[in-house]
Amino acid sequence: MAKDSKVFILSASEKKFCLELASKSIKYSLMNDSLFSLRPDEVAGLTENLKRKKACFVTLTNKGVLRGCIGHLASFQPLYKDIIQNAYAAAFSDTRFSPLTAREFSGIEIEVSILTDPKELDFTDFKDLLSKITPKKDGLIIAKGFNTATFLPSVWEEIPKKEDFLSQLCLKAGLGADDWKKSGLKVQVYSAISA
C-alpha cells in the first residue's frame, strides 16, 4: 500500500505536540520577531506522522471569537513545518486582523486542523450537491472562475444547515449567496483531524 493511501491517525500525544508546537511558534515570534524552527536533533526525534507531508490550518480564537485562521489546502511540506508557518501566519499575517500582541497571547485558544487531500465532488445539480455533503465531517472548497473559498469541517458548529453553509461559503468567495444553486461551481471535499 502506498504511504499516502494509508489512513492518517494522530495519537493523543501527537495531537498535544501539534498544539504545543503552534503555541511555541507564536510565542517565539512575539519575543524574537522571526520564525521559530526546530533543531535537527528535535526533528530527528519526531514521529513519522509529524514528518509526513500534510496540509493544515491553524485557527486562533479569543473567548470563542475568531482571531486568525491561516492554512494550506495542499500538502507540500512536513506537517511540523506547516504547523509552525501557519501558526505564525494566523497570528501575524491574517489580513482580517491586526497582528497578535504579547498581551493578547495568554487569552488565545489554538486549534490545529490536519487535512486529508481534497477530492473533486461530482454532482448533477444543487439537490444532488446537498445530498452528497456531510455536516460536521466535510470541509468544502468551492471555486467559480477566479473566486474560491473554503470552510473547515469545524465551521459546521457555527453554520449547521447545509444551505446556509453553502451560501456563506459562496459569500466568502465573493460570489452571490445562491451561486451554489447555479451551474459552473466546482466543489472539493476533505476531512480534518483536529488537535
82-118 pLDDT, tens digit per residue, is: 999 999 999 999 999 999 999 999 999 999 999 999 9
* Res. 6: pLDDT tops 90: no
- Share the mean pLDDT of the chain: 93
Q: Which CATH number fits domain 119-194: 3.30.1490.150, 3.40.50.12160, 2.40.420.20, 3.40.640.10?
A: 3.30.1490.150
Q: Are 130 and 189 in contact (CB under 8 A)?
A: no
pLDDT recorded at residue 2:
38
Band of pLDDT at residue 8, cut at 50, 70 and 90: confident
Q: What is the pLDDT of residue 14?
A: 96
Q: What is the structure's pLDDT at 123?
A: 96
Q: In angstroms, rounded to a whole number, what is the distance separating the alpha carbons of residues 20 and 103?
A: 19
Domain span(s) for CATH 3.30.700.20 in the chain: 11-115
In the chain, list all ranges with CATH 3.30.1490.150: 119-194
pLDDT over 60 at 36, yes or no: yes
Mean of pLDDT values over 169-174: 96
Q: What share of the chain in percent tops pLDDT 70?
A: 97
Q: What is the mean pLDDT of residues 117-124?
A: 94
End-to-end CA distance of the chain: 26
pLDDT of residue 95: 95
Q: What percent of the chain has pLDDT over 90?
A: 92
DSSP letter at 117 equals P
* Residue 33: per-residue pLDDT: 84
Q: In this structure, what DSSP letter does residue 76 have?
A: -
**For 116-154, b where at least 16 C-beta lie within 10 A, e where not — what string?**
bebeebeeeebeebeeebeeeebbbbbbbeeebbbbbbb
DSSP alpha helices (H): ranges in the chain? Answer: 12-32, 40-44, 48-51, 79-92, 102-105, 126-132, 162-172
Q: Which of 68, 71, 97, 96 is nearest to 84 (CA)?
A: 71
Pick the CATH number of 11-115 from 3.40.309.10, 3.30.700.20, 3.60.110.10, 3.50.50.60: 3.30.700.20
Q: Which three cell numbers stand for residue 99?
A: 497582528
Q: What is the dihedral of CA 35, 195, 129, 5, to 10 degrees?
A: 90
Q: Identify whether the C-beta of residue 132 lies closer than 8 Å to the C-beta of residue 121.
A: yes
Give pLDDT, residue 4. Answer: 45
Mean pLDDT of 141-158: 94
